[in-house]
Structure 1
């Protein structure tokens, strides 16, 4: 095999391996995008963004359908205290919605803060998707979260 052909094969294999090793899309990877971070900050409005988001643990993005349109869901939680401090984000290119959960160890009480929930499909299906992300149901059954266009 000629050296140039061998180098070409090595280059293709190297590209394939590096693409396979790319990090999955998570809250942390989206946070490195300045445009997405601006949208996230705007979502919080006058509510302070939790400090723990800077070093959050995050899960891989999940694709869902709301009102017949594709959306992405991200989940982030406080490192070493995921059960008590979580943030779920539902977004597409035009909209961003969120749910923040705060709780205390051993307490059955949860404090839920909803962001950008209005009177559209996010007021029912969006809340369902966001809470399902917090509980883990979305990640266990992603195919169940494909909501068609409302008639």
Structure 2
């Protein structure tokens, strides 16, 4: 009996540990509310299929921009992160979402950015955080 309880407890440990941490992009997409916002963000873009499920990602981190709380999330093409990646900012208070998709053009050796839901008047801080998140800076 004790052995069965120990196995059950150890099996559930990763779920408990993940529940207290920040979500990965995959988890964010699977959530009904945040997934709807994410899907609306990428719907009008011609993006690779891995973007729809989040690809390989890091845990989100919470940041504050001009007094508003955001989750910063990112994902990249599985087995080829330098080639393609996505970064997202989701407002915890208002539910608005912004993002940037990056693709590396190998032929011309340049990075092509597709900004999503960011107008010309949106803050430079928001763009900087998204760009930094694309390039591996998860400090916020």
Relative distance call for 1:62 and 1:98 in structure 2 (3 A) is: same
How far is 1:47 from its partner? Answer: 1.4
Aligned to 1:118: 119
Instruction: Give 1 or 2: higher strand fraction.
Output: 2
How far is 1:116 from its partner? Answer: 0.7
Q: State yes or no: 1:67 paired with 2:100.
A: no
Superposition TM-score, scaled by structure 2 size: 0.77
Aligned to 1:39: 37
2:59 and 2:18 mapped to 1: Cα distance?
Answer: 14
Aligned to 1:77: 76
SS of the counterpart of 2:26?
helix
Relative distance call for 1:51 and 1:105 in structure 2 (3 A) is: same
Tell me if the contact between 1:41 and 1:49 (Cα under 8 Å) persists in the aligned partners. no
Structure 2 unmatched ranges of 5 or more: none
Aligned to 2:131: 131
Aligned to 1:7: none
Q: State yes or no: 1:98 paired with 2:99.
A: yes
How far is 1:65 from its partner? Answer: 0.9
Structure 1 unmatched ranges of 5 or more: 1-9, 146-151
RMSD: 2.7
Work out the number of aligned pairs and report it. 128
Relative distance call for 1:27 and 1:108 in structure 2 (3 A) is: same
Aligned to 2:17: 20
Deviations 1:16-59 (A, max 9, x none): x7323647510011111122121112112421342012361011
How far is 1:105 from its partner? Answer: 4.0
1:125 and 1:21 mapped to 2: Cα distance?
Answer: 29
Tell me if the contact between 1:66 and 1:126 (Cα under 8 Å) persists in the aligned partners. yes
